[in-house]
Amino acid sequence: MAQIDRVLRSNIKLRHLQLLVALDQFRHLGRTAEFLTVSQPAVSRMLTEVEGMLGLILFDRSARGTVPTASGKSLVRFARGVLAGFERTRDEIAAEASGAAGRTRVGAMVVALPVLLAEAVKLLKTRSAQATVLIEEGDLTHLLPKLRLGELDIFVGRLEPGYAAPDLVTEPLYNEPMVLVVKPDHPLVSKRNVSWADIATLPCVLPPPWASLRVKIEQTFYQHDLHPPIDVIETASFLALQTFVLQRDAAGFLARSVGLHCEQLGQFKVLSLKAPVDLPPIGLITVRGRGLTSTSEQLMDCLRQSAKLIKQPTASRAG
């Protein structure tokens, strides 16, 4: 234990941490060498050096590639966190030195990206045109680990209750129902009274199984004495949803503000079928105790203001 503590505090260097992350990403000595622009023997020597310092085997090597051991996985998590902190500090210092306004990194679900986050970024840019916003789209299973490691500063999306944890701070912004969307010339667009039976016969683009929305959609079919659709694509990607709705005459499920936004753009048509599904609120997640850059704090304030604009028309339509 003392040896590991000494190595992590004093001996290990950024290049060692970069090596561990790259090996975990590529799982191959040759591809890692290409990424780091060094020779493969140099990668092998550096890995042997790190393992020698720690007295641990971090990666199992074989003809198929490299696979992290249990100790290797722990060190990779450590390396990702340190490198994320390094990049954040470097960007802050560079921004201050150049007079720029700083940078923030946001993980966003589809439910928040095209309306809430887009409006918030627009508002942020009116305040500080030089502010840089890095946006990564994904779902909770993909984005929360990055948030915890410091690779993202803010998460914005549905606050799934199953993912609440003591190390995370959640801030609900608003509740929003879902709508069903189809392509503009879909046969159901001209039908006066669309039913759940009509949707059950269609190909459907559904959220991943972990999402509470997925379970509740399936429950809605059962409540109407119907089986959920058999022809299903599971995705949290807006591009995938758009592709299959347009190319396969499929129906997709979106947050109402996103569906109406896409309808205004001529991409989809929102069906009149009501979907009375109780969903988690849309909101923000940050890591408890981790300081945010001034740009991240400004963006969060812009997200709160944009959320108020979304809530107002939602409330008036509901009434």
Give the model's pLDDT for residue 168. 96
Residues 25 and 64 in one domain: yes
Residues 62 and 20 in one domain: yes
pLDDT band at 318 (very low <50, low <70, confident <90, very high): very low
What is the Cα 316 distance to its own chain's centre? 30
Give the model's pLDDT for residue 241. 95
Domain boundary among 80, 111, 127: 80
Q: For 170, phi and psi rounded to 5 degrees?
A: -105, 145
| Percent share of the chain, pLDDT over 70 | 94
Q: Could you tell me the end-to-end alpha-carbon distance of the chain, in angstroms, rounded to an integer? A: 63
Domain boundary among 21, 52, 80: 80
pLDDT band at 319 (very low <50, low <70, confident <90, very high): very low
- pLDDT of residue 34 exceeding 60, the answer is yes
Residues 168 and 289 in one domain: yes
Longest C-alpha distance within the chain, in Å? 73
Burial 140-176 (b: 16+ CB within 10 A, else e): beebbebbbbbbbbbbbbbbbeebeeeebebbebbeb
Q: In this structure, is residue 58 part of a structural domain?
A: yes
Residues 171 and 286 in one domain: yes
Q: In this structure, is residue 225 part of a structural domain?
A: yes
Q: How far is 208 from 93, CA to CA, in rounded Å?
A: 40
Give the model's pLDDT for residue 230. 94
- pLDDT of residue 292 exceeding 90, the answer is no
The position carrying tokens 């500063």 is: 153
Q: How far is 178 from 183, CA to CA, in rounded Å?
A: 17
Each residue's pLDDT tens digit, 63-110 = 888 999 999 999 998 888 888 878 777 776 766 665 455 789 999 999
What's this model's pTM, rounded to 2 decimal places?
0.70
Q: For 265, phi and psi rounded to 5 degrees?
A: -80, -5
| Percent share of the chain, pLDDT over 90 | 61
Give the model's pLDDT for residue 263. 96
Give the model's pLDDT for residue 316. 40
Q: Which domain holds residue 117?
A: 100-175+281-318
pLDDT band at 217 (very low <50, low <70, confident <90, very high): very high
What CATH number did the domain enclosing 211 receive? 3.40.190.10
Among 34-43, 46-55, 209-218, the minimum mean pLDDT is found in 209-218
Give the model's pLDDT for residue 312. 63
Q: For residue 43, what are its two tokens?
A: 């990668």
Give the model's pLDDT for residue 212. 79
- pLDDT of residue 162 exceeding 80, the answer is yes
- Residue 17: CB atoms within 10 Å: 20
Q: What is the mean pLDDT of residues 226-236?
A: 94
The domain total for the chain is 3
Looking at the DSSP assignment, which residues form a beta bridge with residue 123? none
Residues 53 and 72 in one domain: yes
Residues 196 and 65 in one domain: no
Residues 252 and 183 in one domain: yes
> Residue 314 in contact with residue 257, Cβ under 8 Å?
yes
Residues 222 and 266 in one domain: yes
Q: What is the mean pLDDT of residues 253-271?
A: 94
Residues 167 and 184 in one domain: no
What CATH number did the domain enclosing 38 receive? 1.10.10.10
Residues 43 and 183 in one domain: no
> Residue 29 in contact with residue 61, Cβ under 8 Å?
yes
- pLDDT of residue 240 exceeding 60, the answer is yes
Residues 266 and 307 in one domain: no
pLDDT band at 129 (very low <50, low <70, confident <90, very high): confident
Give the model's pLDDT for residue 252. 96
Q: For residue 136, what are its two tokens?
A: 């990564």
Residues 246 and 209 in one domain: yes
Where are any strands of DSSP class E within the chain?
A: 59-62, 65-68, 103-108, 132-137, 154-158, 168-174, 178-182, 204-206, 232-234, 251-255, 269-270, 282-287
Q: In this structure, is residue 95 part of a structural domain?
A: no
Give the model's pLDDT for residue 103. 83
